[in-house]
Structure 1
Amino acid sequence: MGTIQESKLEFMKVGDGMNSNRKAAKRVGVLFILAAVTAVIGLKLYDPILIGPDYLVNGAKHANRIVLGAVMELMLVVSAIGTATIMFPILRKYNETIALWHVCFRFLEAIVITVGVISVLSLLTLSREFAAAGAPDIVSYQSSGILLKAIHDWTFMLGPLFMLGINTIMYSYIFYKTRLVPRPLSILGMTGAISVFLCSLLVMFGVIEQISVWGGILALPVAANEMILAVWLISKGFNEHALASISVNKQNGGVTPT
């Protein structure tokens, strides 16, 4: 009798674990999509204050649009942190060190993006002051504006390119080793990570522009990976057999087979 009850309890625990992993996978998928959507919308909303020579005038004219763009990017920050923290308990089952690095670098990515948001909002303040001044010394305002725009440009490169490449290679590597998702998807993730990291270096050394044909080509694989991965996690979730294998191997002190 006791053996039957113990078996039932064990079965219930397994079921609860599968439900928990399924929910985690869906949340990660939704957050990946939310991050991508808010990033694109936020950047587009910034156009009046980041594009063109009349940004000191246009920024104040489109203040609400700029603030909404900042809100979109802050949602991106929350989404990025969310994907890392939700995946951490799953990734750590294979390699706790890499899982912890992933969380740390994702937080760094979020911090860099937040600095970019602050620079844009500061530029908006500068634009409002310029509009309120009537006939100001435009040179001094432009000098400050150039500096703030430069801060945004660098954060826009370091966050969505440099840090993103590091983050993606870490979780994609664990996915590849454990088969938590299909290996072709993991390979696309690692390929995209290397490609976007290379893009960040080329932009950093002035070889290409971030907003350019080559910048788009090099960033495309990682964007495709995140969207395909998001859809997969929402519809299929993580490979439960692979998760079970990781847990068994960890309990036995072994290594998950490749």
Structure 2
Amino acid sequence: MTQDLNAHRLAARLFGIFFILAFVSYGAGSGMVASVADNALGLEGVFAGKTTLMIGVLLMAIVHSFVNIGLSVLAFPVLKTVSGYVARGYLAAGITATTTAVIGALFLALLVPLSEASIGGNVATESFDAIAFVLKQGGFYGYQMSMTLWGIGGLILCTALFFGRLVPRVLAVWGFVGYLVFMVGTTAEMFGYPIGVMLALPGGLFELSLSVWLIGKGFNIPVTAE
């Protein structure tokens, strides 16, 4: 039993660390990509900043994917003490959200070969610009859909945290409300209402607070849990 509790404490600390890494990797990666993809020079600027863009894509598609799926795997044995269905649901949501995010990142990565083709090409500039617009929109919708799926996973997680008393219930309620607000923002973004960043704040602060709590305190696993 002591060995199991120690394993859960280690999983909790790693979960908290991975949560922060997921936040930082995707935030840094998307910032680097946006600084290149949305530059004033268009594809010429993408060609000049392709190294920065590809590093950003790698952070979004590789590093973020590793830690994001790792979150779901680390949480699985703990959430299973509450419900096997909940544990599998959170794992499925994490994998689906991550896969969708990778697809969105790949759309943005395709801006690099497009920019290379546009340099000295015989095709009209307007055609390249139209393709670039479609790729950037693919990245945008991929991100919003992945975050909506992540919000669903967050609701599953917070439900388990609340009913399993794995963390203080006020923290679980905060997270549940934060993810609901977050999903309103991501859905609104897909319908053309730019309020996603503002509505992401409660959920983002919850994730950071939960990470700090788990690193310092761990999950409250009942002594009877197997």
TM-score range, shorter chain: over 0.9
> Deviation string for 1:145-193 (max 9, x for gaps)?
1111110010111112x11210100010000001111111101110111
Cα offset for 1:215? 2.2
Cα offset for 1:245? 4.2
What residue in structure 2 maps to residue 61 of structure 1?
Answer: 48
Q: 1:122 aligns with which of 106, 110, 113?
A: 110
What residue in structure 1 maps to residue 7 of structure 2?
Answer: 20
C-alpha change, 1:86 and 1:170, in structure 2 (3 Å) is same
Quote the Cα distance in structure 1 between the aligned partners of 2:146 and 2:157: 17
Quote the Cα distance in structure 2 between the aligned partners of 1:192 and 1:111: 23
Q: 1:100 aligns with which of 78, 88, 98?
A: 88
Amino acid at match of 1:193: Y
C-alpha change, 1:127 and 1:48, in structure 2 (3 Å) is farther
**1:227 correspondence with 2:213:** no
Quote the Cα distance in structure 2 between the aligned partners of 1:169 and 1:134: 49
What residue in structure 1 maps to residue 199 of structure 2?
Answer: 218
Quote the Cα distance in structure 2 between the aligned partners of 1:18 and 1:55: 54
- RMSD over aligned Cα atoms: 1.5
Quote the Cα distance in structure 1 between the aligned partners of 2:170 and 2:23: 21
Structure 1: runs of 5+ lacking an equivalent: 1-13, 248-258
What residue in structure 2 maps to residue 195 of structure 1?
Answer: 181
- Secondary structure (helix, strand or coil) at the match of 1:42 reads helix
Quote the Cα distance in structure 2 between the aligned partners of 1:15 and 1:246: 11
Cα offset for 1:123? 1.0
Cα offset for 1:128? 1.5
Cα offset for 1:134? 5.2
Quote the Cα distance in structure 1 between the aligned partners of 2:35 and 2:202: 29
TM-score by length of 2: 0.94
> Deviation string for 1:181-232 (max 9, x for gaps)?
11111011101111111112222222x21xxxx3222111110111111111
What residue in structure 1 maps to residue 137 of structure 2?
Answer: 150
Highest CA radius of gyration, 1 or 2? 1
- Give the fraction of aligned pairs with identical amino acids, expressed as a percent: 24
Quote the Cα distance in structure 2 between the aligned partners of 1:246 and 1:16: 12
Structure 2: runs of 5+ lacking an equivalent: none
Quote the Cα distance in structure 2 between the aligned partners of 1:115 and 1:134: 27
Quote the Cα distance in structure 2 between the aligned partners of 1:29 and 1:126: 39
Q: Taking CA–CA contacts closer than 8 Å with sequence separation of 6 or more, which of the two structures ends up with the larger relative contact order?
A: 2
What residue in structure 1 maps to residue 169 of structure 2?
Answer: 183
Task: List, as ranges, runs of 4+ consecutive aligned residues in structure 1 with deviation greater than 4 Å.
Answer: none
- Secondary structure (helix, strand or coil) at the match of 1:93 reads coil
Quote the Cα distance in structure 1 between the aligned partners of 2:136 and 2:190: 16
Quote the Cα distance in structure 1 between the aligned partners of 2:172 and 2:35: 38
Q: 1:76 aligns with which of 64, 70, 80?
A: 64
Quote the Cα distance in structure 1 between the aligned partners of 2:115 and 2:108: 10
